[in-house]
Amino acid sequence: MYPYFFVLVAAILWGMTGTTQTFLDDGISPVAVAAVRSAIGGGLLLVVAIALGKIRLRTWSWRWTLMAATSIALFQGLFFSSIRLTGVAIGTVVTIGSAPVFSGVLEWMLWKVRPTKVWGGATTLAIVGCVLLFVNTGDASVHIGGIILALCAGVSFAFYTNVSKKLMMCEDALPAVAMTFSLCALLLFPFSISEGYSWLTQSHNLWAMLFMGVMCTSVAYLLFLSGLQKISSSSAVTLSLAEPLTAAILGVFFVGEFLSVTSWGGVVMLLGGILVLTLGSKNTK
């Protein structure tokens, strides 16, 4: 049961990112935020991993780490680009909603792991709930280019999860997160360095980034990979749908956003999908 709980808590921490970003100054590049967040989260754990002697460069699983770092860097770039074109609501629904489907397909194609009926039912409930959650947002425009980018972001996150599953067979969670996100930051910095990082000298920006780096990256991905060791990639990605659920609820209580009755129905369906997956998977063992 605890692996599902770890992944669920990780998704809740990811869901806090959007609310935390409201404390940042306007006009800061999303890619710069992703780069700094990855650098803080990965760099902190890298120092700890080196101090504990958990980094073995000669025998390290470089192939899986490079694929994981590239896919999570692509995910952040594609996702941020998609929401600029099609809006936060639709971009989030398409990206996070499509990721479980892509993960199940990739898991079946690459590792020959057939999705279970429990996963299928839970994923259907969660995706419908995710759509209903944002259906009341009428000001978001449907941009075909943004939709394509969001779908590619969904594929990237699904691929990251599947690759990380293989990485966790070779390395511990702490050094795996440290190496993956340190490399991710190196990949993202060239695309954001032109805009500078002087905004980090403002205390409110710095504290927000520290929270996103430590809690929403270091702690969240440690929990995610720890849980991923014990459950399937497709189940882990389905549980990650708790991210938009958390973001929506925090938006209502802390940012003053409004959810319609239909959207609250989506919240219930999302919670139902998560319960079906956790309890149903437990009963099938």
Nearest residue to 177 via CA among 1, 32, 6, 33: 6
- Distance, C-alpha 51 to centroid of its chain: 27
48, containing H or E segment: helix 30-51
The mean pLDDT of 173-199, rounded to a whole number, is 92
Give pLDDT tens digits for 47-60: 999 999 999 889 99
Convert 243-258 to b/e letters by CB count within 10 Å (16 or more is b): bbbbbbbbbeeeeeee
Average pLDDT over the chain reads 87
pLDDT of residue 199: 94
Helix-, strand-, coil-residue percentages of the chain, each rounded to 5:
80, 0, 20
How confident is the model at residue 136, as a pLDDT? 59
Give pLDDT, residue 26. 83
C-alpha–C-alpha distance, residues 179 and 118, integer Å: 34
Run of H or E including 273: helix 261-283
Compute the average pLDDT of residues 220-239: 91
Count of other CB atoms within 10 angstroms of residue 53: 8
**Around 125, how many Cα atoms within 13 Å sit in the side-chain half-sphere?**
20
Q: Which is higher by pLDDT, 221 or 255?
A: 221
In this structure, of 10-19, 107-116, 145-154, 199-208, the range with the lowest mean pLDDT score is 107-116
Measure the CA–CA gap between 3 and 8, rounded to whole angstroms. 9
Residue with tokens 């994923």: 123
Q: pLDDT category, 212, cuts 50, 70, 90?
A: very high
User: Residue 250 in contact with residue 106, Cβ under 8 Å?
Assistant: no
Amino acid 285: pLDDT? 46
Residue 42, C-beta contacts closer than 8 angstroms, at least 6 positions apart: 177, 178, 179, 180, 181, 182, 183, 184, 185, 217, 218
Residue 132 pLDDT > 90, yes or no? no
Cβ–Cβ under 8 Å, residues 272 and 129: yes
Q: In the chain, what are the domain boundaries?
A: 2-279
pLDDT at 90: 74
Q: Which residue has the higher pLDDT, 73 or 95?
A: 73
User: 134: which 2 tokens?
Assistant: 């944002």
Least confident range from 15-24, 35-44, 230-239: namely 15-24
Query: Does the structure show a pLDDT above 60 at 141?
Result: no
- For the cut 60, the answer to whether the pLDDT of residue 284 exceeds it is no
